[in-house]
Structure 1
Amino acid sequence: MKELWPYYTMVIVAALATVLLSLASPFLISHATDTIVSTVNGSTPMETATRTVIAVALGLLAAELAHTVIHNIGGWFGDVMGMRMRQILSNRYFAKLLSLPQSYFDRQITGTVISRLDRSIMGLTQFLQAFANNFFSMILTVIVVLGISAWYYWPLALLLVIIFPMYLWLTALTSRRWMRWEKTKNEHIDTAQGRFAEVVGQVKVVKSFVSELRELRLFQTHFAETVDVTKRQSRWWHMMDIFRMAGMNLVFFAIYLVLFLRTLNGSFTIGELVLLVQLVAMAKQPATMMSWMVDSAQRAAAGSREYFEAMDELEEPTTSPVLLTASREYGPSVVDEREVRDAVPSPPAIVQEDGRPGETPVFEFDDVTFGYDPGDPVIHHVSFAAGNNEKVALVGESGGGKSTLVNLLLGLYRPTGGTLKVCGHDIRELSAAQLRGMVGVVFQDASLFSGTIRENIAYGRPGATDEEILQVAERANADAFIRNFTAGYDTLIGERGLRLSGGQKQRIAVARAMLKDAPILVLDEATSALDTRAERAVQAGLEELMVGRTTLVIAHRLSTIATVDTIVTLDSGRVDEIGSPAELATSGGIYGELLRLTASSSEEDRARLRRFGFHSDGGSEGDDIDTGPEA
């Protein structure tokens, strides 16, 4: 928050001015009271007293008007400062999330990550804003009141001083247990909101399985728990608050008793009594406000714990320096457009081992081992390579490691053993942007974003021209259906492309990959979720996309496998065979078994075929899921 010092300065100046203006009223009223008493006693002429009282009233009006204006000026600076705080914290949080490795998100629930943006940052921001708007004026008020009270009668100031350490000590006794309950409440809220986001995002599944009531009950249960915890938490807080307030009431009783007795004894005039009573009242307000301030501080501390835990996570080793800067202390308010354009650099040149340009594998797995959890590898000593314009297919049972190899090639995870090279470069030498800039990918789920069709096609190249977008849409076999929409390329497709069919979404994804124009293409079962007609339309686009690129295919149709240059069969994370379709057809390995199973009509063989993600008619069965999280 250091960069917000101008706002803090203005808030402090406004607080100081409002406190001084607030103190004008007790002194003016004290003077008016003494004048009136003097006039009643016959010591001051009525005409003089009248002029004095009118002047005092005008002074009170001027002080109140000035107080109103300056208070609102300070409030404006406080409000803007609060929003700037929220901007800074939110920017840092989002930049941090974008810089974290895929493994972090594998451990999180999406709704919980979103909840932190709301609960943690909002709670922290609101507290800091209230703190800035109230704390400085509160402290200044206390200091000035103590000084004036000590000037008139030092034991009075001493009694006022006792209130604050007593109150803070009793609050400290309350806090530890209160914080434990608040943490429990936050856990329930995060879990409920995380599930809420999942259900809303997949409401069609919930309805199709008639699970609405079960989901509602689960959601209600978490919030019912928060109510039960709040009952215990609030009971404890308010019980302790009784002791705090009772102690403060006793102190104020002593203060008022001293004031009244001193006035009766003639030590104070009536005007001075009025002045000191008003000053004591001014000191009482900050003392009672401490309860609210401490409560707000505890909520902000407990609520922001997960935010700071996320901010302490280690970023991807090769993440963008701009992201690192944005997630740290002096990050930009808005990333410069030039930095956005430069974020995806040109792919490095293909080099030989000795650094000379030439022919070398476009990507190469060399004795690669990897595990999502330490000591539990799911990929074991995998070695294979793909040359320029080659097509390589990965074949194996579900959980065999196919999608994990794709994750490694995309740099979502790093090998724990061996070497992975792309265009002759060890991926450890490449930034995340360089590596991913060399790889285009079409997933089984098209993963589109809300917005227009044009924006989704140009997602990898926002600066693409209309002509370039039109060209790739035609090549992806998507232009015809796009033009059938009333708004054409400016059609809004809704969240995750919900207004499009599965085949239409995949053709948009193919066009998006074409426009990226990366030298390596990954097809992660890109047509497995489509019907036959939609698949033919998408497959035509994929064939066009593969031209001139090195392609890695996770296959689910034998017709697709038959056209590749090399098949790599995987068995429990290990390479079983490598060869052309013709070579492996007669080798007796996994590919040969697939050919046999496809030709078989027995139920046992069909069940075995489905374990590879195949149907006997060439269709697919579900997703390919490895032993570990998926991208």
Structure 2
Amino acid sequence: MASLLRIVRFTRALAPLYTAIILCSVLTAAAALAVPFLIGHATDTVAGAVGGQTPTGTAVRAVVLIAAAVLVAELFNTVVSNIGGWYGDVMSNRMRTILSVRYYDKLLHLPQRWFDGEITGTIVARLNRSITEITNFAKMMSNSFASMLITTVAVLAISAWYAWPLTVLLLIVFPLYVWLTSLTSVKWQRLEGEKNEQVDIASGRFAEVVGQIRVVKSFVRERSELEDFRRRFWSTDATTRAQSTHWHRMDVIRRAVLNLVFFGIYVIIFVRTVQGAFTLGEMVLLVQLMSMAKAPVESMSWVIDSSQRAIAGSKDYFRVMGTEVDPRTAAMLARAEDDVPPPAIEPVPGAPVVRFRDVSFAYEDGEDVLHGIDFSVARGEKIALVGESGGGKSTIVNLLLGLYEPRAGEIEVVGRTSTELPLDELRSRIGVVFQDASLFSGTLRENIAYGRPGASDEEVADAARRANADGFVRRFPGGYEQVIGERGLKLSGGQRQRIAVARAILKDAPVLVLDEATSALDTKAERQVQKGLDELMEGRTSLIIAHRLSTIAAVDRIITLEDGRIDEIGTPAELAASGGIYAQLLDLQNSGDRKRLARFDITG
């Protein structure tokens, strides 16, 4: 119940709709309760006419009027219940919108570390399942449960007026039935959690397979992926059988108790009618009222079943919502929402553009992957990072972008510590071209202008020309408005990378990071992209993770890394003669030892 109340508090903006639904429920319940009284009155009228106490003509007129009143009550019930249903539909949809937007907003506030331990498809599956279960329950509650609850309270009051033993029995059966149902909750929720875990994993893998379908087909893995998907879903079958067996066993006990109590209720009504305590009409009235009271009790298992699903879903939802956010990201997004620019922080005159001061870093609680990293990059300088795969090159880039915080030491940009700089201000100064172009499924124009959505068409086209991309863009039927498919799958590798370069050119950041930007390309495509990169690096401070020695040779200085530590720093000429890692790479290239070069992400 606490989880459900938390949902209500979480969506307090829906209070006007909740109020309208409750009002409609009250009116619907009142109309429904009027019908047994009318029918009871009609029964007494008919009995009086049959017994000769009431003239036939008078009785006919009375029962016709009563029938008309029943019609009015039923029509009123129909109209108001549908109005309440409309409000319920709107409420559930708005609840879905609120919960979905807040979930997405929460994800955008979470630190990169959280995403490192999650599967993208599972995050999406959790959103769909959890919110669907919550909103379905809310819709069910709004459309039926509120009116049933009001009706039950009214029946208790009315039955107490006619015969207090009836109310006592009802007051016994209601909490007893709910208590018997609650006995199943702990086991039911545990089994539901096991099922949800398997479904979320399977759904996450499903999303991965669809996104990497070319890889799956290329390696003929369709059957094994299907088998894993089938295994996880079939594992929920045994869980469901155990869950259902437990639930329905308890349902037999609950309904048997319910039937016994209502046996006592009907005995009291029938016997007291025979004894003359109730008229025939009052007997009919009470029987109908008891039926109205029995209906919500019988449906209690369905209500509680839906509520248990909603509770299980809400736990998954609020587990994510309760995750600690990155305070710097939260501050950045709050400013963006309020349309407040980041505070102006001027560079320190004469300070290096980038400076790592004795930085150490570890993922989660593991061993450090960077140890005492200390170097600086002057304005306009081009620096290359070289080292074995896994040596910490990309980690340095991630730390520079503020995706992670160092465990020890400080990172400075334009003389300011990275923690002192707001994230939007920090990242606005850095342009990035990753090995994976990471395009979106919109148009070419949208992807180029991703860092500057307000850029003019001419600015977009100019960035594309400088990235050596304008030619192939204009050959598409849609030109810059060409839709490129998910992750840009309609483009070749070289085309995607040139769009990524154009995106960085248009951003026009003073610091440039190239994270193996051409490593996935063939020689021809690399030449085309490299022209754009040369244009992009012109006059900028550049930090390059490169995989070709020809690119490394053109930089001002090289930093070699070994096991997360800096081995050497110097110009290409200096390191070529030092006998260190870079000199070894040159020797390996001259000897044609591609296998050993590959250890350093170098292809020659």
Are 2:558 and 1:570 aligned? no
Indicate conservation of the 8 Å contact 1:440/1:518, yes or no.
yes
- 3-state SS of 2:328 partner: coil
1:230 Cα offset (Å): 0.3
Q: Is the 8 A contact 2:169 2:261 kept in 1?
A: yes
Report the counterpart of residue 170 of structure 2 in structure 1.
160
The Cα offsets for residues 378-404 of structure 1, whole Å up to 9 and x where unpaired, read as 000000111111100000010110000
Distance 2:454 2:594 in 1: 48
Shift of the 184–116 alpha-carbon distance from structure 1 to 2, 3 Å rule, reads same
The corresponding residue for 1:614 is 602
Alignment partners' CA distance in 2, 1:520 and 1:536: 23
How do 1:100-139 residues align onto structure 2 when only pairs under 5 Å count? Answer: 100-139=110-149
Return the alpha-carbon distance in structure 2 between the equivalents of residues 446 and 375 of structure 1.
30
- 2:429 maps to what in 1? 438
The correspondence for 1:467, drawn from 458, 475, 498, is: 458
Whether the aligned pair in 2 keeps the contact of 1:449 and 1:456 (CA below 8 Å) is yes
**Secondary structure at the residue paired with 1:310?**
helix
Residue 346 (structure 2) aligned to one of 346, 349, 352? 349
Q: Deviations over 1:212-234 (max 9, x none)?
A: 10000000000100011101110
CA contact (8 A) 2:329 2:423 kept: yes
Partner of 1:387: 378
CA distance in 2, matches of 1:123, 1:324: 30
Whether 1:368 aligns to 2:359 is yes
Letter in 1 for 2:515: D
Match of residue 591 from structure 2? 600
Q: Secondary structure at 2:513's aligned position in 1?
A: strand
Distance (whole Å) between structure 1 residues aligned to residue 330 and residue 497 of structure 2: 29
> Is 1:37 aligned to residue 58 of structure 2?
no
Alpha-carbon separation, structure 1, partners of 2:62 and 2:442: 70
Structure-2 separation of matches of 1:390 and 1:323:
32
Deviation at 1:322, TM superposition (A): 6.8
2:545 matches 1:557: no
**Which residue is equivalent to 1:479?**
470
- Tell me which residue corresponds to 2:220: 210
| 1:195 aligns to 2:205 (yes or no) | yes
Give SS of 2:177's match: helix
CA distance in 2, matches of 1:317, 1:144: 51
User: Is the 1:95–1:323 Cα contact (8 Å) retained in structure 2?
Assistant: no
- Cα separation, partners in 2 of 1:606 and 1:442, compared to 1, 3 Å: same
Whether the aligned pair in 2 keeps the contact of 1:394 and 1:402 (CA below 8 Å) is yes
User: 1:134: Cα distance to partner?
Assistant: 2.4
Using the alignment, how far apart are the partners of 1:175 and 1:586 within structure 2?
73
CA drift of 1:121 comes to: 1.1
Show CA shifts across 1:274-316 (max 9, x none): 1001100100111112111111111111123221111111111
| 2:260 alignment partner, one of 246, 250, 261 | 250
| Counterpart for residue 547 of structure 1 | 538
CA contact under 8 A between 1:95 and 1:324: conserved in structure 2?
no
The one-letter code matched in structure 2 to 1:69 is V
Contact 1:441 1:513 in 2 (8 A): yes
1:96 aligns with 2:96: no
Structure 1 residues 377 and 347, CA gap change in structure 2 (3 angstroms): farther
SS of residue matched to 1:68: helix
Distance across 1 between alignment mates of 2:324 and 2:125: 21
C-alpha contact 1:263 1:273 (8 A) present in aligned 2: yes
Show the counterpart of 1:489.
480
Q: CA deviation at 1:133?
A: 2.5
The separation in 1 between residues aligned to 2:246 and 2:165, in whole angstroms, is 34
Q: How far apart are 1:101 and its partner, in Å?
A: 0.7
1:274 alignment partner, one of 269, 281, 284: 284
TM-score by length of 2: 0.96
User: Within 1, Cα distance between the matches of 2:414 and 2:142?
Assistant: 55
User: Distance between the aligned counterparts of 2:369 and 2:157, measured in 1?
Assistant: 72
- Matched residues in 2 for 1:151 and 1:430: separation? 73
CA distance in 2, matches of 1:103, 1:214: 30
Contact residue 559 and residue 570 of structure 2 kept, 8 A:
yes
Structure 1 residues 114 and 534: alpha-carbon distance in aligned structure 2, compared to 1, 3 A threshold: same
Q: Find the aligned partners of 1:348 and 1:449 in 2 and give their Cα distance.
A: 32
Mapped to 1, the partners of 2:236 and 2:307 lie a distance apart of: 19
Would the aligned equivalents of 2:386 and 2:393 in 1 still touch at CA under 8 Å?
A: yes
Q: In structure 2, what is the Cα distance between the partners aligned to 1:27 and 1:176?
A: 42
Q: CA deviation at 1:178?
A: 1.1
> Within 2, Cα distance between the matches of 1:459 and 1:399?
30
Aligned counterparts of 1:103 and 1:142: Cα–Cα separation in 2: 51
Q: Does 1:420 align with 2:384?
A: no
* CA distance, structure 2, for counterparts of residue 321 and residue 405 of structure 1: 24
Specify the code of the residue in structure 1 equivalent to 2:539.
G
TM-score by length of 1: 0.92
Q: What residue identity is the alignment partner of 1:319?
A: T
Aligned-partner SS, 1:293 = helix
In structure 1, distance between residues paired with 2:259 and 2:122: 44
Query: Shift in Å at residue 518 of structure 1?
Result: 1.0
What residue number does 2:493 align with?
502
Unaligned runs of 5+ in 1: 326-334, 352-357, 619-631
Q: Is the 8 A contact 1:393 1:553 kept in 2?
A: yes
Show the counterpart of 1:587.
Answer: 578
CA distance in 1, matches of 2:314, 2:14: 20
- Cα distance in 2 between the residues matched to 1:407 and 1:315: 18
Question: Is residue 332–residue 422 contact of structure 2 (8 Å, CA) maintained in 1?
Answer: no
Tell me if the contact between 1:99 and 1:324 (Cα under 8 Å) persists in the aligned partners: no
Q: Aligned equivalents of 2:395 and 2:567: distance in 1? A: 16
Q: Which of 516, 519, 525 is the matching residue for 1:525?
A: 516
The 3-state SS of whatever aligns with 1:394 is strand
Give the aligned residue type for 2:382: K
CA distance in 1, matches of 2:440, 2:214: 18
Q: Deviations over 1:116-138 (max 9, x none)?
A: 11001111111122223323212
CA-to-aligned-CA distance 1:409-459 (integer Å, 9 cap, x gap)? 111101110110011111111222222111110000000000100111111
Cα distance in 2 for residues equivalent to 1:266 and 1:22: 27
Match of 2:6 in 1: none
The alignment partner of 1:393 has SS state of strand
Partner residue in 2 for 1:145? 155
Please tell me the root mean square deviation across aligned C-alpha atoms, in Å.
Answer: 1.4
Count of aligned pairs between the two proteins: 594
Q: How many Å apart are 1:54 and its aligned residue?
A: 1.1
